[in-house]
């Protein structure tokens, strides 16, 4: 599945608050055909840099952001949402961890296998 994503502008919120809305708009902006490298494949830069692991994960991130309370934090790991936990109003709304390989797995062969 692929679809055309456009960067949203204006003052209408899709999320419950502006901090989650900002993250949603930045995510979508990365996939706008005006700036993305291969938006249909979710690739935003560098040949392999993806906005999400796949379209299912992209939609799950969108849904999570739309429902995120202002005292919750979304954790995105390797391009998919893995947790939402209660934090506090001054905490980051989203934490993202990508391409974290350690020790004997920190090589291109293993990285490409996980892609």
Q: If pLDDT is split at 50, 70 and 90, which confidence band does 101 have?
A: low
Each residue of 59-93: pLDDT tens digit?
Answer: 999 999 999 999 999 999 989 999 999 999 999 99
Residue 56: pLDDT over 80: yes
Return the H-helix or E-strand segment holding 112: helix 108-114
Residue 53: pLDDT over 70: yes
Q: Considering the entire predicted model, what is its pTM?
A: 0.87
Lowest mean per-residue pLDDT among 1-10, 45-54, 76-85, 102-111: 102-111
Q: Write phi, then psi, for 50 (nearest 5 degrees).
A: -105, 150
Instruction: Please state whether beta strands 94-97 and 72-77 pair in parallel, antiparallel, or not at all (unpaired).
Output: parallel
Return the H-helix or E-strand segment holding 27: helix 18-31
The C-alpha atoms of residue 23 and residue 15 are separated, in whole angstroms, by 10
């Amino acid at each position: 599945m692929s679809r055309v994503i456009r960067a949203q502008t204006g003052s209408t919120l899709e999320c419950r608050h502006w901090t989650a809305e900002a993250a949603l708009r930045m995510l979508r902006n990365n996939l706008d055909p005006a700036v993305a490298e291969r938006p249909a494949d979710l690739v935003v830069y560098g040949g392999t840099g993806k906005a999400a692991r796949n379209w299912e994960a992209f939609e799950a991130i969108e849904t999570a952001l739309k429902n995120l309370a202002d005292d919750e934090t979304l954790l995105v790991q390797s391009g998919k949402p893995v947790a939402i936990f209660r934090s506090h109003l001054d905490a980051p709304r989203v934490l993202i961890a990508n391409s974290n390989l350690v020790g004997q797995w920190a090589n291109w062969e293993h990285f490409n296998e996980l892609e």
